[in-house]
């Protein structure tokens, strides 16, 4: 690239950076995570994103889970490209994003995260600018993380402004959630966690799960965790998974769909001081600059 080309690029980068700074405040970056796998993260992410989009909020799912039943399987999509293709310069972000039901956007990102740290400074900047261009089209970025405390799960939680921890009432789900919260709090100074209790038979059961976990974090970590809500156990959910459809689209009035709707409602009606705004750029900068030691 000639000098002219380079300075054009610099000008355009600067201009874009300036332009998005105004819009930064409107994006909420939320990691949906768990200590143990199989507690419902992927279904929760898909259903919340779907309902948010029905509420006229633009939702982007970042599929960061390398697991088997990931977002595209659940939504019946077959993305051709992922973040790795973007890193190799073969595809743009726009070409990588796939559209799901209700117009939700999905960025398949599980492959490629590891490679991001190996990029040169220039490549990182270009990538950041491209990722940041999403800022203008997104109100919520929901991240379906993998389970547990492996490094590749941690990056996403550390970089997110908000963290939703999904648990079920199984004892191992609780002990694993505790271990995850402990590491994020003690090692990465994360302080805000909201519990979403899935597959419960009653609201009271969810409250009891919350009471147990928050008692442990209060007592041993001196940390208060918040209660976000619950999703009832719903046989229709398995049916939706088999049909590769979002439950909230297939059975909008089923018990779990109504729970998803009230959680989405809660997220939307929160006051600004109850959550932190984030920008997509901030999120990716954290991912790229994260020290994996």
Ligand X SMILES: Nc1ncnc2c1ncn2[C@@H]1O[C@H](COP(=O)(O)OP(=O)(O)O)[C@@H](O)[C@H]1O
Q: Which does 34 bind (CB under 5 to 8 A by kind): Mg ion, ligand X, none?
A: ligand X
In this chain, which of 69, 150, 204, 211 binds ligand X, going by CB under 6 A? 69
Question: Nearer to ligand X by C-beta: 55 or 241?
Answer: 241
What residues have CB less than 8 Å from 217, skipping those under 6 apart? 178, 181, 182, 193, 223, 224, 225
Contact flag: residue 37 with ligand X (CB under 6 A): yes
Q: Where are the alpha helices (DSSP H) in 24-65?
A: 41-54
Q: Which does 161 bind (CB under 5 to 8 A by kind): Mg ion, ligand X, none?
A: none
CA angle centred on 114, ends 159 and 280, rounded to 5°: 30
Q: Which of residues 85-144 bind ligand X (CB under 6 A)?
A: none
Question: Nearer to Mg ion by C-beta: 41 or 281?
Answer: 41
Shortest Å distance, C-beta 100 to Mg ion? 15
Q: Which of residues 220-279 bind ligand X (CB under 6 A)?
A: 231, 233-234, 237-238, 241, 256
Question: Nearer to ligand X by C-beta: 138 or 177?
Answer: 177
Q: Which residues bind Mg ion (CB under 5 A)?
A: 41-42, 65, 67
In this chain, which of 157, 198, 254, 279 binds ligand X, going by CB under 6 A? 198
Helix axes 151-159, 280-289, angle to 10 degrees: 140
Q: How many residues comprise the chain?
A: 293
The one-character DSSP state at 66 is: -
CA distance 4 to 114: 33
Are 246 and 240 contacting, i.e. CB atoms less than 8 angstroms apart?
yes
């Amino acid at each position: 690239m000639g000098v002219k080309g380079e300075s054009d690029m610099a000008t355009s980068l600067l201009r874009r950076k300036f332009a998005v700074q105004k819009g930064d405040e409107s994006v909420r970056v939320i990691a949906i995570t768990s200590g143990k796998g199989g507690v419902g993260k992927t279904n929760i992410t898909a259903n919340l994103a779907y309902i948010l989009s029905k509420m006229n909020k633009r939702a982007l799912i970042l599929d960061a889970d390398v697991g088997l039943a990931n977002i595209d399987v659940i939504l019946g999509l077959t993305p051709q490209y992922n973040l790795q293709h973007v890193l190799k310069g073969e595809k743009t972000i726009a070409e990588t994003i796939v559209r799901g039901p209700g117009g939700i956007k999905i960025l398949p990102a599980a492959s490629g995260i590891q490679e991001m740290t190996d990029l040169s400074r220039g490549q990182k900047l270009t990538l950041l600018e491209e990722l940041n261009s999403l800022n203008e089209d997104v109100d919520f970025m929901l991240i379906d993380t993998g389970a547990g405390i492996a490094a590749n799960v941690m990056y996403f939680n550390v970089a997110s402004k908000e963290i939703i921890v999904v648990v079920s009432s199984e004892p191992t789900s609780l002990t694993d959630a505790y271990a995850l919260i402990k590491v994020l709090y003690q090692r990465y100074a994360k302080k805000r966690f909201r519990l979403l209790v899935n597959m419960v038979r009653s609201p009271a059961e969810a409250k009891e799960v919350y009471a147990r976990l928050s008692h442990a974090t209060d007592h041993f970590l001196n940390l208060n965790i918040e209660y976000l809500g619950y999703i009832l156990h719903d046989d229709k959910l398995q049916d939706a998974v088999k049909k590769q459809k979002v439950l909230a689209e297939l059975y909008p009035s089923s018990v779990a769909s109504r729970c998803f709707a009230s959680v989405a409602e809660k997220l939307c009606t929160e006051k600004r001081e109850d959550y932190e705004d984030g920008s997509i750029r901030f999120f990716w900068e954290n991912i790229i600059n994260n020290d994996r030691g």
